[in-house]
Chain A
Amino acid sequence: LAKTTQPISMDSYEGQEVNITCSHNNIATNDYITWYQQFPSQGPRFIIQGYKTKVTNEVASLFIPADRKSSTLSLPRVSLSDTAVYYCLVGTGGFKTIFGAGTRLFVKA
């Protein structure tokens, strides 16, 4: 099972770009990389998913190098409401997908 490693916490200021990197050295060929956001006392919310190279949606970008052993979630121009826990997941769904402790992002004014 692919295990992920993320920074425990990060601080940023409003308007800055935030990059959260996740390491997943033993990612399998069929594994996808998915990022979720979670606010206190709420369920995780899907942000973005990718398999290789770069994926962009209206919320974030996901950069995946060719070896796929890491990935970087990029949040452009964060606001106070982006303060949350961000989880990097690697897998194909179900029990094969493991949530780690996540990265606690704190955005300051």
Chain B
Amino acid sequence: DAGVTQSPTHLIKTRGQQVTLRCSPKSGHDTVSWYQQALGQGPQFIFQYYEEEERQRGNFPDRFSGHQFPNYSSELNVNALLLGDSALYLCASSLEGTGGFEVWETQYFGPGTRLLVL
């Protein structure tokens, strides 16, 4: 059973550039969430994709955008990179719940992509 995979594992960019990170969800999962984790801090929610649409968004600027494909894989795009965008970017997948009271979709995280902006 393949878990969540992310590519690339590491990436170095310069300020102002654009970057695309990729994620393949765990087999059977249809929902993908992206997180940013700065050094020494907990992951911060960026957004979540379900049925190829952004469903929820955290407190991140429009420079952060994403896409989900029909096979449920997802991309995270960051434009006009800033030094402060240097972080570990995590992808998490889950299976959409019924939305009912007793359902909380457990998220499974990938290993992350380490982005360094110089």
Contact count band on A:
20 to 34
Q: Which residues of A are interface residues toward B (Cβ below 8 A)?
A: 30, 32, 34, 36, 41-46, 49, 51, 87, 91-95, 97-102
With A94-B33, A95-B57 already in contact, the answer to whether A41 and B114 are too (CB < 8 A) is yes
Say whether A46 contacts B104, CB under 8 Å. Answer: no
**Chain A hits for B48, CB < 8 A:** 94-95
Complex A-B, nearest 6 residue pairs according to Cβ-Cβ distance, in ascending order:
A43-B109, A99-B42, A32-B104, A94-B56, A95-B56, A99-B43
**Chain A hits for B102, CB < 8 A:** 51
With A30-B101, A32-B104, A95-B57 already in contact, the answer to whether A42 and B112 are too (CB < 8 A) is yes
Q: Which residues of B are interface residues toward A (Cβ below 8 A)?
A: 4, 33, 35, 40-45, 47-48, 55-58, 88, 90-92, 94, 97, 101-102, 104-112, 114
Q: A41 to B24, alpha carbons, bound, how many Å?
A: 18
Say whether A46 contacts B107, CB under 8 Å. Answer: yes
**Chain A hits for B107, CB < 8 A:** 46, 93
Say whether A99 contacts B90, CB under 8 Å. Answer: no
